Structure 1
Amino acid sequence: MQQLAFQKIGSLALLCTTLYTLTLFPTQAQQTSVPYSRQDSLRGSITEEREWWDLLYYHLDVEVDPRRKSIQGKNTVHYKVLKSYQTLQIDLQEPMEIKGFYQEGREMPYRREGNAYFVELELPQKVGEIHQLQVVYGGTPRISPNPPWSGGLTWEKDQKGRPFIANSNQGDGASLWWPCKDHMYDEPDSMLISVTVPDPLMNVSNGRLRKTEKPSPEKTTYHWFVSSPIANYGVNISIADYAHFSEEYLGEKGPLTLDFYVLRENLEKALVQFKDAPRMMRAFEHWFGPYPFYEDGFKLIEVPYLGMEHQSAVTYGNGYQQGYKGKDFSETGWGLTFDYIIIHEAGHEWFANNITYRDIADMWIHESFTTYSESLFLDYHYGVNAGNAYLQGARSVIKNDIPIIGDYGVNQRGSGDMYFKGANILHTLRQWIDQDEKWRAILRKMNATFYHQTVSTQDIEGFLARETGLPLQTFFDQYLRTAQVPLFQHYWKDDRLYYRWQEVVDGFSMPVTVSQNNLTHVLHPTAAWQSTDLLLPGRVFETDPNLYIFTQQIRAPSE
């Protein structure tokens, strides 16, 4: 489903085989020095062969062979014609292979360009019509060298030597293991995932288990139905000899099933550790509004890698320990009061699966808000000071290397600072608003406004500017489109405090709260020097530690 309007990529730009970037912000320079290829453009842009059809439904029907580490099957693509065109792009990455494209029982010719397949449809494609395309494929998908950061399949064993299998493919693309329209701007309205595995293994995927079938005495097919729009990278297969337990959470929209699938040897540990799941739900429904997928339920599934935000099927591999593999990013102790993977990956149900970036250059929309959700979890359960301390402490991991927004149209994300720097940016905005209930209402309205939609940075910026009533353009230009942190520079002279912003974009203006002798004052610095006599001359004062800024006292200039 194409939820929001998208930008058409000019054919001339697509012909570029070296340097290509579609930028929504002409003043933002390319972030990397490596020239982009035509494959980057075919993967990351909305090509003519993509834009003319609206994705409605997938039925992914595959058999997974753990012994051969292979996947064989088909994907039936249902789509609606938006404008007449005869060439349709489907993506599948090597070493997986397409065996044929079929429409109305006839095999369709196609041409291939790297990972992009261009199907030449013989049936006239008339505006408003709904058609199906069956894609038959198979092969041995790439094994992830470093999941989940490097995409692919992970094939491990449990303690009894039985297969333990899962996929992870954000960034690299779902087309690593199944053929699809591999761009984030368009999602199917719903999806059926049918996976056949050898007994006694079971497959757990997104949505709800509709039924199981026995295609042979030694195999079982699990049919999982997703009733909500879903991003390609969120489609999940998790295969093991799982133990299952569940509970019912009474949430804002009524009863919600929480289902847990874990290796049998870890069942007792999971019964304790997964108590963080209902705690997460209580905190995030408070801050963000109802869980976005009541119809599909919520699952937490053990996998042989750290974890991933697969929609309604969050995967978990944190070793049943607090923090991030036992580490507290903030070094305050607060990061060890929760299981990082449960809280962070489940937070993505609101920011990634409900509100989804249209281009990976805007990945900050997923990671900044979700990392910020960790502090809101602490805020809800332990108080505002706990959330504040967590974010302030985690600033030590921020690099300020390149801008948080990446390059558009080439499948390129921005800086890894989108996590904790992004969270601190949002926390800074909370201080500027200075009304916590208003901030909470904005976060809840944001999830309602963009419910099950793909969005751009401009969508989010515009929404926040309207809802806060604040002039936020230079705020976002500064924090998202440069790597520089605003520098609050000051000096004392003639019993007055002189102050200004440095290292900022033109027109940057954001208030700063300062404290001295238990009194607080709000200053309104710009890039030009200003002065005030509100503070006791020469005495120490403190800027609000919840603002992500740098401060510098300099010598007063001589006359």
Structure 2
Amino acid sequence: MDHPSVAAARRTARGAALLPAVLALVAGCTAGLGGSVGTPGAAGVRDPYFPRLGNGGYDVTHYDLALDVDATAERLSATAVITARATQDLSAFHLDLTGLEVRSVNVEGRPAAVNRAGSELTLRPDRAVADRLRTGRTFRTVVRYTGAPRTVTDADGSREGWLRTADGAVALGEPAGSMAWFPGNHHPGDKAAYDVRVTVPEGRSAVSNGELVSRRTSGGRTAFHWRVREPMASYLATVAVGRYAVRRTVTEDGLPVITAVDPAVAAASAGVPDRIAEIVAWGEKRFGPYPFSSAGAVVGRRGDAGYALETQNRPFFPGPPDTGLLVHELAHQWFGDSVTPASWRDMWLNEGFATYAEWLWSEDHDGVPVEESFGKAYADDANWAFPASRPPGAADLSRPPVYGRGAMVVHRIRQEMDDDEAFFGLVRGWLSAHRHGNASTADFTAYADRVSGADLAEVWEHWLDGGSRPAGG
């Protein structure tokens, strides 16, 4: 017989040996009850201007959207298949969607509970699925929804979302209108590939981003399937439904140019495909390789929207665009669409460079020196209302300082470098380093400081971030 102290020691040792097995059993039982399946993803990504926009806990890799649009383009019945990768252990996650009625949701093939608060959908997978939503795991969510997509009024009074036109509709999404027609992670920081399938009454066209995979007509309805292979921010997604004349041409380098033109403006838009080809070729010489597998435009009627927008591959124009506007929106394919802002505070990187592209085009084609364009922008009081990098609020994101002052910052870098070959090398290097990704103002200033070989402290302090007009413009 053991001494009592020895027996106690042995009992303690046996208990210690059994402890891992007991803990594992408890953990397994707790997981089965939903107790250790992670935490909910955040309901927003704390964007400086739109804190509830976007969602945390996952990155979308692909959207497969199927839209069935009625004869008036006022209602749709749709399915969104969203493939995403978990960036944390998830017990629940959010999608952004406004206005439309959710019919059903499943995650990994099993029904999920849905709670709605305004434009936020909270999805709670069942326990068996939630236990598998671990960091790094890819999962698929299917949302079936229906209703009349909304037109959204922005803080600055402009209209986006689902805009009705004379014979259809156009979907425009900057900054948040895409949530009016499909559920998703609607912040520019989460880019994804897309398949967009749109079924419309026979005789109408449905045009989207990327390239046309198929077009089939049956029973008085035509189904169009568009595919975007390169990553795209959701605010750059579009669908245009109407009696568009769709034309496909090819540049000298073999790049497809797909244009969709409303018949009402066909005559005035006849030269658009050739001008697109010319501008893309010029842009490649200035900025480097065109970043996408097709180019083009959607040209609607005046009044279809209050602005043009750089929707990826296929900018939208409300009426025939002049050359300057074409240059601006096509420049965005490099600046904004390929290299997309990390947050909406970084929008000057889109608009400043696109505006500077207009100045460069005017110098190369119209004999207007960039210095002259810079001087006009410097003299314009509107460009000094606030720093390009810090608009006061969401209503100010499209005001002049983001454009004109942003372009002046770009030119001041060029002046400080005093070497055009090195300057355009810097621009091409920036685009190459962040191709199909996201970048912030801090990323850009750090890159320019490192690569330029110039002291740019004064440019950042006074021209980008300063509160007043610098002397010596």
TM-score by length of 2: 0.82
Q: Which moved more, 1:469-478 or 1:300-309?
A: 469-478
Query: Deviation of residue 274 (structure 1)?
Result: 4.4
State the partner residue of 2:94: 89
State the distance in 1 between where 2:79 and 2:413 align.
Answer: 47
Query: Deviation of residue 137 (structure 1)?
Result: 1.6
Are residues 130 and 193 of structure 1, via their aligned partners in 2, closer, same or farther at CA, if it must alter by over 3 Å?
A: same
Are residues 410 and 341 of structure 1, via their aligned partners in 2, closer, same or farther at CA, if it must alter by over 3 Å?
A: closer
Query: SS of the residue aligned with 1:86?
Result: strand
Deviations along 1:183-224, one digit per CA (max 9) or x if unpaired, are: 111111x2100111111001110011001233x411111000
State the partner residue of 1:389: 372
Contact 1:91–1:175 (8 Å) recurs in 2:
yes
Query: Deviation of residue 53 (structure 1)?
Result: 1.7
State the partner residue of 2:280: 281
Query: SS of the residue aligned with 1:51?
Result: coil
State the partner residue of 1:360: 344
How do residues 62-211 of structure 1 correspond to structure 2 at under 5 angstroms? 62-67=67-72, 69-93=74-98, 95-122=99-126, 123=129, 124=131, 125-143=133-151, 149-157=158-166, 163-188=167-192, 190-211=193-214
Query: Deviation of residue 449 (structure 1)?
Result: 0.8
State the distance in 2 between where 1:403 and 1:442 align.
Answer: 23
Query: Deviation of residue 394 (structure 1)?
Result: 4.2
Are residues 414 and 461 of structure 1, via their aligned partners in 2, closer, same or farther at CA, if it must alter by over 3 Å?
A: farther
Are residues 99 and 483 of structure 1, via their aligned partners in 2, closer, same or farther at CA, if it must alter by over 3 Å?
A: farther
Q: Which has the higher helix share?
A: 2
**Aligned-partner residue type, residue 375 of structure 2:** Q
State the distance in 2 between where 1:394 and 1:103 align.
Answer: 52
Contact 1:21–1:407 (8 Å) recurs in 2:
no
CA RMSD of aligned residues (A): 2.8
State the distance in 2 between where 1:417 and 1:377 align.
Answer: 21
Contact 2:339–2:436 (8 Å) recurs in 1:
yes
Query: Deviation of residue 246 (structure 1)?
Result: 3.4
Deviations along 1:288-342, one digit per CA (max 9) or x if unpaired, are: 1011002xx112111233421010111122435x4xxxxxxxxxxxxxxxx2321
State the partner residue of 1:52: 57
- In the alignment, structure 1 residue 43 sits paired with structure 2 residue 53: yes
Deviations along 1:104-143, one digit per CA (max 9) or x if unpaired, are: 3322112223211111122121233221000112221223
- In the alignment, structure 1 residue 307 sits paired with structure 2 residue 308: yes
**Aligned-partner residue type, residue 71 of structure 1:** L
- In the alignment, structure 1 residue 218 sits paired with structure 2 residue 226: no
Number of aligned residues: 423
Are residues 407 and 271 of structure 1, via their aligned partners in 2, closer, same or farther at CA, if it must alter by over 3 Å?
A: closer
- In the alignment, structure 1 residue 456 sits paired with structure 2 residue 453: no
Are residues 276 and 483 of structure 1, via their aligned partners in 2, closer, same or farther at CA, if it must alter by over 3 Å?
A: farther
Query: SS of the residue aligned with 2:230?
Result: coil
State the partner residue of 1:429: 413
Are residues 143 and 22 of structure 1, via their aligned partners in 2, closer, same or farther at CA, if it must alter by over 3 Å?
A: closer
Query: Deviation of residue 273 (structure 1)?
Result: 4.5
State the distance in 2 between where 1:457 and 1:309 align.
Answer: 20
State the distance in 2 between where 1:272 and 1:307 align.
Answer: 18
Query: Deviation of residue 174 (structure 1)?
Result: 1.4
Structure 2 gaps of 5+ residues are 1-38
Contact 1:405–1:413 (8 Å) recurs in 2:
no
Identity %: 23
Deviations along 1:477-521, one digit per CA (max 9) or x if unpaired, are: 333333312125xxxxxxxxxxxxxxxxxxxxxxxxxxxxxxxxx
Query: SS of the residue aligned with 1:171?
Result: coil
State the partner residue of 1:258: 257
**Aligned-partner residue type, residue 211 of structure 2:** R
State the partner residue of 1:328: none
Structure 1 gaps of 5+ residues are 1-10, 24-35, 45-49, 158-162, 323-338, 489-548, 550-559
State the distance in 2 between where 1:103 and 1:434 align.
Answer: 56
How do residues 384-423 of structure 1 correspond to structure 2 at under 5 angstroms? 385-395=368-378, 396=380, 398-406=382-390, 413=397, 415-423=399-407
Query: SS of the residue aligned with 1:56?
Result: strand
TM-score by length of 1: 0.70
Contact 2:408–2:463 (8 Å) recurs in 1:
no
Are residues 207 and 363 of structure 1, via their aligned partners in 2, closer, same or farther at CA, if it must alter by over 3 Å?
A: same
Given candidates 339, 350, 354, the residue that maps to 2:334 is: 350
